[in-house]
């Protein structure tokens, strides 16, 4: 599949934003939310800014962005539509949560309930995003049990690393956030490794024989349907060389998982200044690593339409 940057940025930014929002909401519902309106303004502002920026960037990949609103009407049958509906719904409890924590500077009353509702909505939105890809049966690498949980794990992982950084910048207790970050990074690392191992062994059940209904012999394409590259080949037939994919996977291992894990560990053990610096480094490195991971997620996916073109 062709890795469009708008979709790569959308899944990376919105995933981190929803993960941060979910963790803040869980903290509120658990009574662990710091009573600091300025911390709330920065943390919730960062979460909602990432979510909004990601959602807006996703419209850049549409042929007619001005018609994006029509997608909301297909929520009964379309995961894309459900994602759009949930992304709007999530803003309601999130803004109520923000009003209580930032404007009224309180962490009691309706704030825990609003935070809990925002956390649930955020995670459900991430779930619908994952299901958009997991429901696409013509793409074997996506239509697996690994896809949707990966979106949830990566969302919590990147959100935890962001929360750890924000808490340390404000001098708040970040031990729980850092511990959550370590666990989530390890879970994400294991899950991604297992996903790649599974996908490397995949064989598509669809062949030219099954597509044409000719069971005997070997069916092959002797001539392309087109003399030049077209939209289908550009979007669905994009392929990344195996040697490049291997190198980029190493980059993901290092930037998205290994170095952020080491940085968070340093932040847990070091003094305040070093902990802040290590936490910022973890965010920057992981953001770069997740952009590469998202690029590979699309570039390594093979659509069965490639069979029509002899691929």
CA 75 to chain centre: 21
Tokens of 139: 């793409």
> Is 112 in a helix, a strand, or coil?
helix
Q: 112-147, pLDDT tens digit by residue?
A: 999 999 999 999 999 999 999 999 888 888 889 999
Q: Which of 98, 83, 85 is nearest to 25 (CA)?
A: 98
28 vs 74: which has the higher pLDDT: 28
Give the pLDDT confidence of 226-268 residue by residue, as tens digits.
Answer: 666 665 666 555 666 567 888 999 999 999 999 999 999 999 9
The label of the residue with tokens 């994006």 reads: 68
Contact 132, 111 (CB under 8 A): no
Is pLDDT at 47 greater than 60 in this prediction? yes
Tokens 């923000």 belong to residue: 98
Q: Which domains can be identified in the chain, with CATH numbers? A: 5-309 (1.20.1630.10)
State how far the Cα of 287 lies from the Cα of 291, in Å rounded to an integer: 6
The gap between the terminal CA atoms of the chain, to the nearest Å, is 13
For 200, 225, 251, 302, the CA distances from 203, given in Å and listed in that order, are: 9, 24, 26, 11
Give the C-alpha distances (Å, rounded to integers) separating 40 from 28, 96, 230, 273.
11, 13, 49, 21
Tell me which residue of 6, 16, 11 sits closest to 284, measured CA to CA. 16
Q: What is the pLDDT of residues 51-91, one digit of tens each?
A: 999 888 877 666 666 666 666 777 788 898 899 899 999 99
Q: Which phi and psi angles does 172 have, rounded to 5°?
A: -85, 165
The overall average pLDDT reported for the chain is 88
* Residue in this structure with the two tokens 């956030």, named with its chain if needed: 177
pLDDT tens digits, 273-306 = 999 999 999 999 999 999 999 999 988 887 776 6
Cβ atoms of 181 and 264 closer than 8 Å: yes
For the cut 80, the answer to whether the pLDDT of residue 309 exceeds it is no
Q: Which is more confidently placed, 2 or 34? A: 34
Q: What is the mean pLDDT of residues 193-209?
A: 83
Q: What's the average model confidence in pLDDT over 200-204?
A: 80
């Amino acid at each position: 599949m062709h890795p469009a940057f708008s979709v790569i940025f959308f899944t990376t930014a919105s995933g981190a934003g929803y993960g941060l929002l979910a963790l803040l909401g869980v903290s509120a519902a658990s009574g662990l939310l710091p009573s600091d309106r300025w911390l709330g303004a920065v943390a919730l502002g960062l979460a909602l800014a990432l979510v909004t920026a990601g959602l807006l960037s996703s419209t850049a990949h549409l042929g007619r962005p001005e018609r994006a609103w029509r997608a909301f009407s297909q929520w009964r049958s379309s995961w894309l539509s459900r994602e759009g509906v949930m992304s709007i719904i999530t803003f309601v409890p999130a803004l109520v949560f923000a009003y209580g924590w930032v404007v009224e500077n309180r962490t009691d009353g309706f704030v825990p309930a609003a935070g809990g509702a925002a956390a649930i909505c955020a995670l459900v939105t991430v779930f619908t995003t994952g299901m958009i890809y997991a429901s696409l049966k013509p793409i074997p690498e996506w239509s697996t049990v690994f896809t949707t949980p990966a979106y949830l794990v990566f969302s919590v992982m990147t959100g935890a690393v962001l929360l750890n950084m924000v808490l340390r910048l404000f001098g708040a207790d970040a031990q729980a956030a850092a511990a959550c970050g370590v666990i989530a990074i390890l879970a994400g690392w294991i899950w991604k490794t297992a996903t790649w191992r599974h996908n490397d062994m995949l064989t598509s059940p669809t062949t030219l024989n099954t597509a044409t209904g000719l069971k005997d012999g070997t069916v092959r394409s002797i001539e392309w349907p087109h003399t030049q590259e077209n939209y289908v080949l550009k979007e669905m037939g994009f392929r990344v060389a195996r040697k490049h994919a291997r190198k980029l996977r190493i980059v993901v291992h290092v930037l998205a998982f290994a170095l952020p894990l080491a940085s968070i560990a340093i932040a847990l053990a070091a003094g305040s200044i070093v902990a802040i610096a290590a936490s910022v480094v973890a965010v920057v490195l992981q953001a770069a690593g997740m952009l590469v991971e998202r690029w590979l997620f699309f570039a390594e996916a093979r659509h069965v339409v490639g069979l029509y073109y002899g691929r």
